[in-house]
Structure 1
């Protein structure tokens, strides 16, 4: 039997407490708000396995239009766990990596305007990239890479 072809990765989802703060942070990074909506109903709960649910989502898109980040704020049911401060060696840890043009400028804006915190330090990988991890809005872990 032939394997079905993967067409694309549609989006990555992250649950947040404040959509407004998350939208502001990821907009500062360079993503654009594609849309914002409330999702509820029996069909949504069947997909997630949560039953009846009410969620507000915001879809952020990268400037090239190829990648999306779905930010979700659960109204009902209530949040039951918090994994935002898990270290990078925790099972199932979550990190999104973004390629940027000017790492120093992006760091300056995210740290200065949004209180992001550098996790370790900015390092250079061979002659290919300058890289770092930082804790952004709500402690979310993101990676930044600047091609050299």
Structure 2
């Protein structure tokens, strides 16, 4: 048995509206939002009685980002918001983009912080930005 595909990545957030707006500005499409709750949801994810708002976003090629705002139990912050890229755990999500300079400029106008840029050989231009709640997003533009 092998993996068929990746369906989505989950990001637990405190300010659902700000994070949603950030990813929509980046170019993801909003698919919908709902609230899930109850002991069956809690038993699925290993918590007690749960109530959470879920927003689904999708990249142009169909990859999903799920944003969850927990109402009960309260979300737990594990480490600082501005954790460095080398902190253990999932640290960034990367997107292929066109015109990386325009994307960085647009995202900075919406509050993103530029962490750094580089050219990787003659293949890619890369940039890391930090969005709401310290979320790190990598941007890659293929060149040549």
TM-score of the superposed pair, with normalisation by structure 2: 0.93
**C-alpha contact 2:96 2:139 (8 A) present in aligned 1:** yes
- 1: CA distance between counterparts of 2:137 and 2:78? 16
Aligned twin of 1:136: 131
Aligned twin of 2:97: 100
- 2: CA distance between counterparts of 1:146 and 1:75? 38
Shift of 1:20: 1.2
- 1: CA distance between counterparts of 2:127 and 2:100? 9
- 2: CA distance between counterparts of 1:108 and 1:71? 24
C-alpha distance after superposition, 1:12-69 (max 9, x if no partner): 000111111111110110000011100112221112111111000100000122x110
Unaligned runs of 5+ in 2: none
Aligned twin of 1:6: 3
- 2: CA distance between counterparts of 1:31 and 1:123? 24
Aligned twin of 1:48: 45
**C-alpha contact 2:30 2:57 (8 A) present in aligned 1:** yes
Q: Report how many residues are paired.
A: 142
TM-score of the superposed pair, with normalisation by structure 1: 0.91
Unaligned runs of 5+ in 1: none
Higher strand share: 2
- 1: CA distance between counterparts of 2:111 and 2:106? 9
Shift of 1:93: 3.8
**C-alpha contact 1:87 1:93 (8 A) present in aligned 2:** no
